[in-house]
Amino acid sequence: MRTEPKLTRLDRIFARLDREPVRPVLDVPRMTRHRVVLFGATLAFYLAIVLAVAVTSWLVRFDWQAMLFRPYQQWPEIHAFLDYWVVLGQRGPTAVMVAAWLGWRSWRQHTVRPLLAFGAALLLLNITVGAVKYGLGRSGPHYATDVGSNEMWHWFQAGSDIFPSGHTANAVVTWGILAYLASTPRARRWLSALSAVLSLSVGLTTVYLGTHWLSDVLLGWAAGLLILLALPWCEPLIARAEAWILAQRDRLPLRRPDLSTAPRPAPVAVATAEPVTGAAVADATVTGAETAGAAPAVLTTTAAASGEAATAESDPAAPVREAILPSTVRTTRPPLYLAPGPHTARSERTPITPAGSRRPPHAERPTRNQPSAARPVTGG
C-alpha cells in the first residue's frame, strides 16, 4: 500500500511560500451595512474631536496637562527605545516593508490587487490627512507659546502641521492594510490585533516624546480607520486598473509567442511509385538544397528521371503525390569532423606511402607476398 510522505512543519511553511499554480479566488471586502454604520460612527468621532479642539474645550486642557507632565522626564530609561519604536509610524520605512510583503503576495497569487489597494490607501492618506493638517494649522507642543490655547490657525509658523498625527494615521493604514488584504479569517483576526497594538503604541509614543498633543493622536487614529473603512468603495476602480495592467502586460513583445498561430513550413512534394526492385531503390536520389530559401527537395526515381514521370502524372492510375515536411526528408550530410568534398571508402583511397615495404632489404629475408624457403632443422 502506497502512502504519502508526512510533511513536517518546515515543509508546510515552504509550501506556503511557493507560488500557487493558478490564481486563487480571493474574498474582496464589500461595503456592508455594518461597515457603513462603523464608518459613520468614526466620522462623527472625527468631527467631534475637531470641534472640541476648535472651541478650546476640556480636551485642550487635558492636552496641556499631559504635555506639562513631560512623560519623557518621568521615564527616561525607555526614551532611547521609543526613539526607534516611533519609526514604525514613519511613512517611508513602513511603506517599503509593507510594499515588499505585498509584492511577494502579488507574485504568489498572480494578481496586482494588493499593491493597487495599498497605493490607493496611501493616496487617500496623503490627501485627507495632509489637507486637514494644513487647513487647521495647529502648532505642536514644542512650538506652543500661549498656555491653555488650542494653538490653531497658525498657517505660516514652523511646526503648525501636526493635527492630526501623521505617524499615528500612517501606522493605522500601513499595518491595517495587511489585515484588510488577509486571505483567511484567522489571518485577518491576528493581523487586526497586531495593527491595533502597533498603531496604539506609536500614537502614545509620540505623546511621550512630546511631539504631539493627545488630541492629535486621537484624530490620527480616527483618520486612519476612516481610510480603511472606505477602501471597499475603491474596489471597482482597483479591479478596472488591475484588468488594464494585465492587458498591457499581455501585449508586451517580450511575452512568449503563441505556437498555435505560428506559420507552418511549406510542404515538400514527394512522388510515390509502385513497389520497385532493389536496383531502382538504389538509384533513387535526393535533389534539393539544404539551406533555407532554396527550392523544395523532391524525391525522384530513375523512371521519373528518364522521362516516365510525365506519363505517370497523365495516367489516372498513377500513384498519388503526397506532401511531407522538409524535416522528414533525409539528406546525406558529411560528419562535422570531415572536410568538405567527395569522400571515398578506405579501400579505394590511394596510399600516402609508396608501395612496398619500408624496411631495408636483407639477403635472408624473402620478398613480400612470396612463400619462404624451408629452414634447416638444427640439433641432433
Separation CA 150–CA 215 (nearest Å): 10
**pLDDT recorded at residue 366:** 59
Separation CA 152–CA 161 (nearest Å): 10
**pLDDT recorded at residue 346:** 56
**pLDDT recorded at residue 242:** 92
**pLDDT recorded at residue 343:** 56
Residue pair 274/304 in contact by the 8 Å Cβ criterion: no
**pLDDT recorded at residue 8:** 79
**pLDDT recorded at residue 19:** 76
Exposure of 248 in the CB half-sphere (CA atoms within 13 A): 6
**pLDDT recorded at residue 228:** 95
Expressed in angstroms, the distance from the first to the final Cα of the chain is 85
Q: Which amino acid is at 37?
A: V
Residues of the chain below pLDDT 50: 258, 260, 271-273, 276, 278-314, 320, 322-323, 325-329, 337, 379-380
**pLDDT recorded at residue 196:** 94
User: Which backbone phi and psi does 298 adopt, to 5 degrees?
Assistant: -125, 130
At residue 85's C-alpha, the angle toward residues 82 and 87, to 5°, is 125
Cell of residue 197, nine digits: 497594538
**pLDDT recorded at residue 289:** 40
Could you give the residue ranges of the DSSP H alpha helices within the chain?
Answer: 9-17, 33-54, 58-69, 71-74, 79-85, 91-109, 113-136, 166-180, 185-209, 214-230, 235-250, 278-282, 302-303, 309-314
Quickly tell me which residue has 498656555 as its cell: 147
Q: Identify the sign of the CA torsion 344, 350, 352, 357.
A: positive
**pLDDT recorded at residue 260:** 47
